[in-house]
Amino acid sequence: MKKIIMVGTSLNTMGGIASVIRVYQAAGLFERYGIAYLATHCDGGIGKKLAIMSHAYLTLVIALLRGQVFLLHVHVASRASFWRKSGFFLLARCFGVPTILHLHGAEFAQFYEKECGALRQRFIRYVFDGASRVVVLSEAWRLWVAGISRNRRIETIFNPVILPPAVTPWTERQPGSVLSLGRLGKRKGTYDLLDAGARSGAAVGALKLMLGGDGEVEQARARAVALGTEAQLDLLGWVSGADRERYLGLATVYALPSYNEGLPMSILEAMAAGLPVLSTPVGGIPEAVTDGVEGYLVEPGDIDALAARLQQLLLEPGLASRMGAAARRKVESTFSSDAVLPRVERLYAELGYVPR
């Protein structure tokens, strides 16, 4: 029987693509549609990465030769992720198999416009043009793809999250606690958040910045030392599972002042946990967070505005609690797995696939 093959990074890795696919799996999409998953990337050395990619290509070629593939659904980011997976689209086209190009990369526009020459840009457009469907995470990304590709079969499908059955009551959260999850560094606004925390500490009092993630950990620590705010900083490392839920239940504000994004899973998870969000109007974030409703949006790099909104949320718990409740309702109606996965299933149906 022909099947859907989904391609992405190993589900044991960190990052947005793996988080999204784990939600697909947990919500039963793989079971309902008999999806076979091929990982093309994993954590570890170059030998391990080459081995997993080679195995994925060999598995796909065998399945194509045996006529076992109905549809190829490929999750793509920028740079190495795109080049690594571009061959899957070429193979599928050779065998007449429909494809879904599911774009996640927060920096894909920068990658295409500033890092690729004319020949590489032409190849990228060729891959986009030939996909049966292109899936993007927001209306902003749909407009960008429409500007580089002749393909008009572009679908906006938000990232989904599993909605927790309940949220931590506001009275049980730690006052002054700010959580941020992701790869630490300039792109995620880590240093801007540290600077804003330094400006806000005296007004707020018991301020605690909890940063969970890998990346520029030691650089973040050094910035806090230079600011004299190391006592405010709690570097959590990469957090997942029960630890992630615990910190989401402890915090009173979720902050991610990024410079570019797709649609961050961490923001959706924070909203599902009933947290107000302090972020920036980049990528798909404005479609999740309406300024003044589920949180606040400030321009990337505007430390003064970031500090002012941070103080406001921490000093007005009633406001923060109301925004957190609005965030939870937004996820339930728009970003929960129950709201999003039917759109993925409808896409499969449009391409002719009937679940077993």
| Token pair in block for residue 332 | 């339930």
Residue 216 shares a structural domain with residue 306? yes
| Token pair in block for residue 68 | 């076992």
Q: What percent of the chain has pLDDT over 70?
A: 100
Average pLDDT of the segment spanning 228-244:
94
Per the listing, tokens 């718990």 go with 317
Summarised one tens digit per residue, pLDDT across range 325-346 is 999 999 999 999 999 999 999 9
Tell me what pLDDT residue 11 has: 94
Can you say how many angstroms the Cα of residue 287 is from the centroid of all Cα atoms in its chain?
14
CA distance 7 to 73: 6
Query: CA neighbours within 13 Å on the CB side: how many for 262?
Result: 26
Summarised one tens digit per residue, pLDDT across range 278-304 is 999 999 999 999 999 999 999 999 999
pLDDT beyond 80 at 356: no
Residue 18 shares a structural domain with residue 154? yes
CA distance 146 to 296: 29
Residue 128 belongs to some domain of the structure: yes
Residue 182 belongs to some domain of the structure: yes
CA distance 211 to 236: 6
CATH at residue 181: 3.40.50.2000
Residue 165 belongs to some domain of the structure: no
Residue 356 belongs to some domain of the structure: no
Tell me what pLDDT residue 165 has: 93
Task: Name the helix (H) or strand (E) containing 3.
Answer: strand 3-8
Residue 138 shares a structural domain with residue 218? no
Residue 154 shares a structural domain with residue 176? no
CA 30 → CA 33, 70, 303, distances in Å? Answer: 5, 15, 43
Average pLDDT of the segment spanning 174-190:
96
Summarised one tens digit per residue, pLDDT across range 2-14 is 999 999 999 998 8
Residue 355 belongs to some domain of the structure: no
Average pLDDT value for the chain: 96
pLDDT beyond 80 at 251: yes
pLDDT band of 25, cuts 50, 70, 90? very high
4 with 348: CB under 8 angstroms? yes
Tell me what pLDDT residue 57 has: 98
Residue 293 shares a structural domain with residue 342? no
Summarised one tens digit per residue, pLDDT across range 37-64 is 999 999 999 999 999 999 999 999 999 9
Residue 54 shares a structural domain with residue 131? yes
140 with 109: CB under 8 angstroms? no
Residue type, 276: P
- Which three-class secondary structure state does DSSP give residue 127? helix
Residue 103 shares a structural domain with residue 195? no
pLDDT beyond 90 at 201: no
Can you say how many angstroms the Cα of residue 177 is from the centroid of all Cα atoms in its chain?
23
Tell me what pLDDT residue 313 has: 97
Residue 54 belongs to some domain of the structure: yes
Tell me what pLDDT residue 41 has: 94
Output the pTM of the full model: 0.94
284 with 141: CB under 8 angstroms? yes
Average pLDDT of the segment spanning 132-156:
97
337 with 161: CB under 8 angstroms? yes
pLDDT band of 202, cuts 50, 70, 90? confident
Give the residue among 230, 240, 235, 328 at the shortest CA–CA distance from 288: 328
H helices of the chain, in order, are 16-26, 29-33, 46-65, 80-94, 108-114, 118-130, 139-148, 190-204, 217-227, 241-250, 265-272, 285-288, 303-315, 317-330, 337-350
Considering all CA atoms of the chain, what is the largest pairwise distance in Å, rounded to the nearest integer? 67
Residue 131 shares a structural domain with residue 243? no
Tell me what pLDDT residue 1 has: 84
Average pLDDT of the segment spanning 180-195:
97
Tell me what pLDDT residue 105 has: 80
In the chain, the number of structural domains is 2
Tell me what pLDDT residue 14 has: 82
Summarised one tens digit per residue, pLDDT across range 97-136 is 999 999 998 899 999 999 999 999 999 999 999 999 999 9
130 lies in which domain range?
3-160+337-350
Buried-exposed string 262-272: b where 16+ CB fall within 10 A, e elsewhere: bbbbbbbbbbb
Residue 307 shares a structural domain with residue 179? yes
Q: What percent of the chain has pLDDT over 90?
A: 94
Tell me what pLDDT residue 203 has: 86
Residue 99 belongs to some domain of the structure: yes
Residue 317 shares a structural domain with residue 226? yes
Average pLDDT of the segment spanning 196-202:
90
Residue 304 belongs to some domain of the structure: yes
Tell me what pLDDT residue 277 has: 98
Summarised one tens digit per residue, pLDDT across range 206-230 is 899 999 999 999 999 999 999 999 9
Residue 33 shares a structural domain with residue 147? yes
Give the residue among 134, 58, 149 at the shortest CA–CA distance from 103: 134
Residue 114 shares a structural domain with residue 135? yes
Tell me what pLDDT residue 206 has: 87
CA distance 341 to 201: 42
pLDDT beyond 80 at 200: yes
Pairing of β 99-103 and β 36-39: unpaired
